[in-house]
A and B are shown apart, each in its own frame.
Chain A
Amino acid sequence: MCGSDKKLGEIRALILVGGYGTRLRPLTLSRPKPLVEFANKPILMHQIEALVEAGVTQVILAVSYRADDMEKELTEQVSKLGVSLTFSHETEPLGTAGPLALARDLLATSPEPFFVLNSDVICDFPFKELAKYHKSHGKEGTIVVTKVEEPSKYGVVVYKEDGQIERFIEKPQEFISNKINAGMYILNPSVLSRIELRPMSIEKEVFPFMALDGQLYAMELQGFWMDVGQPKDFLTGMCLYLNSLRQKNSDKLHDGAGVVGNVLIDPTATIGKGCRIGPNVTIGPNVVIEDGACIKRSTILRGACVRQHAWLDGCIVGWRSVVGRWVRMENCTVLGEDVIVKDELYINGGQVLPHKSIALSVPEPQIIM
Chain B
Amino acid sequence: MLKAVILIGGPQKGTRFRPLSLDTPKPLFPIAGLPLIQHHIAACVKLEECKEILIIGSYTTTHMTQFVTDMQKEYHVIIRYLQEFTALGTGGGLYHFRDQVRAGNPSAFFLLNGDVCADFPLKELWTFHDERPNALVTIMGTEATRQQSIHYGCMVSEASTKAVTHYVEKPNSYVSTLINCGVYVCSLQVFHTMAEAFQKKQDGYYSASGQNGSHPGYMSWEQDVLAPLAGTNKLFAMQVNNWWSQVKTAGSTIYANRHYLELNRQKQIDPPCQILPDVFLHPTAVIDSTAVIGPNVSIGAGVIVKAGVRIKESIILNNATINEHALVMYSIIGQDVSVGEWSRVEGTPSDPDPDKPFAKMDNQPLFNTDGRLNPSITILGAGVVVPGETILLNSIVLPHKLLTRSFKHEIIL
Contacts and interface: CB of A to CB of B under 8 A. Distances in A.
A326 B346 contact: no
A363 B393 contact: yes
B293 to A, nearest CB: 12
B391 interface: yes
A294 B327 contact: no
Contact of B308 (A274, A328, A363): A274
Given A274-B307, A309-B308, A325-B310, A346 B325 contact: no
Given A294-B342, A308-B308, A344 B389 contact: no
Contacts, number: 42
7 contacts: A291-B308, A294-B325, A311-B389, A313-B389, A328-B391, A363-B393, A363-B408
Contacts of A231: none
Contacts of B393: 346, 363
A141 interface: no
Given A311-B342, A311-B344, A328-B391, A344 B308 contact: no
A309 B290 CA distance: 11
Interface of A: 274, 276, 291-292, 294, 308-309, 311, 313, 325-326, 328, 344, 346, 363
A328 B329 CA distance: 13
A344 B329 contact: yes
Contacts of A308: 308
A311 B346 CA distance: 15
Given A309-B325, A311-B325, A326-B327, A292 B344 contact: no
Interface residues of B, number: 16
Contacts of A328: 327, 344, 391
Contacts of B342: 276, 294, 309, 311
B322 to A, nearest CB: 12
Contacts of B310: 309, 325-326, 344
A36 B55 CA distance: 70
Interface of B: 290, 307-308, 310, 312, 324-325, 327, 329, 342, 344, 346, 389, 391, 393, 408
B391 A292 contact: no
Contacts of B346: 346
Contacts of B389: 294, 311, 313
Give the 6 A-B CB pairs with smallest separation, nearest first: A309-B325, A292-B308, A326-B327, A311-B342, A326-B310, A309-B308
Contacts of A313: 389
Contacts of B391: 328, 346
A309 B328 CA distance: 13
A292 B324 contact: yes
B294 to A, nearest CB: 13
Contacts of A325: 310
Contacts of A311: 325, 342, 344, 389
B327 A292 contact: no
A294 B388 CA distance: 11
A93 to B, nearest CB: 42
Nearest to A292: B308
A313 B346 CA distance: 18
A308 B307 CA distance: 11
Contact of B327 (A291, A309, A363): A309
Contact of B325 (A292, A344, A363): A292
A344 B307 contact: no
A308 B274 CA distance: 15
Contacts of A294: 325, 342, 389
A13 B342 CA distance: 48
Contacts of A292: 290, 307-308, 324-325
A311 B342 CA distance: 7
A317 B44 CA distance: 57
Given A294-B342, A309-B310, A311-B344, A344 B327 contact: yes
Nearest to B408: A363
Contacts of B329: 344
A311 B389 CA distance: 8
A339 B324 CA distance: 27
A346 B378 CA distance: 15
Contacts of B327: 309, 326, 328, 344
Nearest to B346: A346
Give the one of A292, A308, A311, A325 with max B CB within 10 A: A311
A179 B261 CA distance: 67
Nearest to B406: A330
A363 to B, nearest CB: 7
A319 to B, nearest CB: 25
B323 to A, nearest CB: 12
Nearest to B388: A294
A313 B344 CA distance: 13
B373 to A, nearest CB: 14
Contacts of B290: 292
A304 B389 CA distance: 22
Given A309-B342, A328-B344, A346-B391, 13 more contacts: A292-B307, A292-B308, A292-B324, A292-B325, A294-B342, A294-B389, A308-B308, A309-B327, A311-B344, A326-B327, A326-B344, A344-B327, A344-B329
